[in-house]
Structures are given as C-alpha cells and as structure tokens.
C-alpha cells in the first residue's frame, strides 16, 4: 500500500481543516514546498495536494505552489485536486506538474465532461474523488451533500472505466479517531478491481496497519503527520 502524505493549501500556506470546515483551519507551515521536501527526503514517492481555495472558488487557484513543488521535489508523484471544474483547470494542473488529477464535484455535476477527461487523458491520470457524509456524496469542498449513494456512485464510474478512487469519510476527516475501515471493506467487496485510496481519520500506526491488511492501493495521511502522532520514519518502514 502506498502511504501518501497530504498538503492542503489556503493562501499559499500549508493548512489542515476539520471535516472540511474552513473556519476550523490550522496553519502548520507557511511554505508547502518545505513540507513537500521533508516528505521527499523521508523517502516517500507520492504526494496528495489539495487546493482548498480552488475548491471554494470552483477553479484552480494555487497552481504556482503546485508548480514549485513539482519542479523542486521532482521525485514525488503528485495528485492534485480542488477546484478542477473545466478543461482549462485540467490543463493547468498537468502543465503545473501534477501526474494525476483528483476530481469529484465535476463527476456529480457534469458527468459528460468528467468522462471526456477520462477518455482524453486515460484512466491512469484521473482519480475519482468519492467523498461522503453518511454514505452520501458531498461536493463543492464538502459544503453540499447530495442524495447520491457512495457505493452506487463508485460502481457507476467503475463501469465507465475509472480505475482510481479516493474515498474520504468526511466524519473521520481531521478527527484523529481512526479510518473508516469497514466502509472501505464494503467498497472493495463491491469493486475489487478499483485502486482504492483511503482518506481521513488515520492517527496511528495501528490505523495504517489495518488499512494495509485490506489491500488498499493507498492511504492519505495528513493531520497525524502535522500533529506528530505519526512520524515519517515509522511510516517509511511500512511504505510500499
């Protein structure tokens, strides 16, 4: 399983939110590049970058920061999400150094466009963000919860060629109370061929080991790294 550190960006700074709430923001580092370099130096090969300003403004905003990270931390495979709503946003993300893009809201609100990206760029380049609150898909920076079933959403897009799915149980995000392992089990029972990336709630080595046992493709880790409940050396030993 790939252990994937996360960098969330607001105003060009590295932050973390609690359950996606912008008024519950903690600034951890003024320079996302410095954080990315620490991850690279610790031996990690993947990085999840989220443009939280973009998620609110419905367009890519922090692409200069992405570009700087991609240029200087060049061994990191970056997936980038937040505000990707148009062909131009996708172009900017890839031109700025993203290896993959993560898109969720657009897959709900404009399915033909999302499928067009899947066809144009290929399934290795596109990650479906399946973010859910009470197993209902949430969009627009998690500010809007739909009536769309999480499992049905994933199954539908898998049938359309999606290979990578990043799933966040919003109730777990930033809470440091453990990952939604049972939910991920049910997703993989339904869609065993999906490369599932877990996100939210990981707070201990036990959580990481529990996810590894479920044969997930990857796990996003954010707040636990910034708060120090997990350290890079511990994770490096488990990273594959």
Angstrom distance (rounded) from CA 16 to CA 32: 12
Question: Do β-strands 164-169 and 195-199 pair in parallel, antiparallel, or remain unpaired?
Answer: parallel
Angstrom distance (rounded) from CA 80 to CA 99: 8
What's the chain's average pLDDT?
89
Confidence of residue 25 (pLDDT cuts 50, 70, 90): low
Report pLDDT digits (tens) over 138-184: 886 666 788 999 999 999 999 999 999 999 888 765 555 678 899 99
Clarify whether 193 is annotated catalytic: no
Active-site residue, from 79, 131, 173, 207: 131
Angle at 141 between CA 166 and CA 143, to 5 degrees: 120
Residue 237's pLDDT is what?
79
Q: What domains appear along the chain, each with residue ranges and CATH number?
A: 2-238 (3.20.20.70)
Clarify whether 29 is annotated catalytic: no
Give every CB contact of residue 213 below 8 A, 6+ residues apart in sequence: none
Check pLDDT > 70 for residue 29: no
Check pLDDT > 60 for residue 240: no
Give every CB contact of residue 111 below 8 A, 6+ residues apart in sequence: none
Rounded mean pLDDT, 24-32: 70
**Residue predicted with more confidence, 143 or 190:** 190
Rounded mean pLDDT, 200-218: 91
Phi, psi of 239 (to 5 degrees): -65, 140
Report pLDDT digits (tens) over 55-114: 888 899 999 999 999 999 999 999 999 999 999 999 999 999 999 999 998 999 999 999
Residue 177's pLDDT is what?
66
Residue 4's pLDDT is what?
95
Active-site residue, from 8, 53, 79, 169: 8
Rounded mean pLDDT, 133-138: 89
pTM above 0.75, yes or no: yes
Three-state DSSP at 16 gives: strand
């Amino acid at each position: 399983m790939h252990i994937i550190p996360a960098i969330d960006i607001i105003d060009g700074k590295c932050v973390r939110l609690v359950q996606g709430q912008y008024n519950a923001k903690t600034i951890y580092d003024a320079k996302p590049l410095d954080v990315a370099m620490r991850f690279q130096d610790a031996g990690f090969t993947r990085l999840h970058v989220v443009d939280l300003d973009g998620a609110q403004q419905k367009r890519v905003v922090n692409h200069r920061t992405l570009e700087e990270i991609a240029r200087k931390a060049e061994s990191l495979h970056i997936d980038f999400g937040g505000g990707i709503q148009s062909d131009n946003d996708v172009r900017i993300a890839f031109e700025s150094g993203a290896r993959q893009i993560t898109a969720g809201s657009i897959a709900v609100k404009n399915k033909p466009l999302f499928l067009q990206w899947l066809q144009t760029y290929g399934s290795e380049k596109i990650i479906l963000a399946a973010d859910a609150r009470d197993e209902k898909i949430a969009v627009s920076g998690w500010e809007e919860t739909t009536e769309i079933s999480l499992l049905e959403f994933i199954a539908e897009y898998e049938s359309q060629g999606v290979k990578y799915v990043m799933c966040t149980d919003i109730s777990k995000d930033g809470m440091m109370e453990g990952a939604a392992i049972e939910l991920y089990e049910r997703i993989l029972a339904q869609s065993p061929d999906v490369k599932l990336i877990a996100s939210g709630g990981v707070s201990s080595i036990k959580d990481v080991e529990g996810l590894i046992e479920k044969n997930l493709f990857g796990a996003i880790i954010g707040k636990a790294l910034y708060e120090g409940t997990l350290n890079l050396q511990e994770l490096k030993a488990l990273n594959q």
